[in-house]
Amino acid sequence: QSRIYTWPERLTLSAFIVQGASTTVAAASFLVFKCDADFFQTFGAFVLWTTTVSSVVATTVFPASVALWGAHG
């Protein structure tokens, strides 16, 4: 059993990451732009920032680092 993913499998994994991130961004955007309470606006901004950074790392930095320094064999 090979540990190397084919391109369709990689695109599927990225699609799942983007879909999950998009629903989280939609919910957090509601908190930031439609909510009047300062706590929820701050929390929504935090969730937006965290989701953005984690989705970028999960789709670009992490696969590149695993390709360079990951398990061999």
**Mean pLDDT over the full length of the chain:** 83
pTM above 0.75, yes or no: no
pLDDT in tens, 28-53: 999 999 999 999 999 999 999 999 99
For position 70, what pLDDT does the model report? 78
Res. 10: pLDDT tops 70: no
**Tokens describing residue 46:** 């935090």
27 by DSSP, 3-state: which?
helix
CB 59 within 8 Å of CB 17 = yes
Res. 73: pLDDT tops 60: no
Q: Which of 52, 9, 6, 12 is nearest to 29 (CA)?
A: 52
CB 47 within 8 Å of CB 28 = yes
**Tokens describing residue 68:** 């360079």
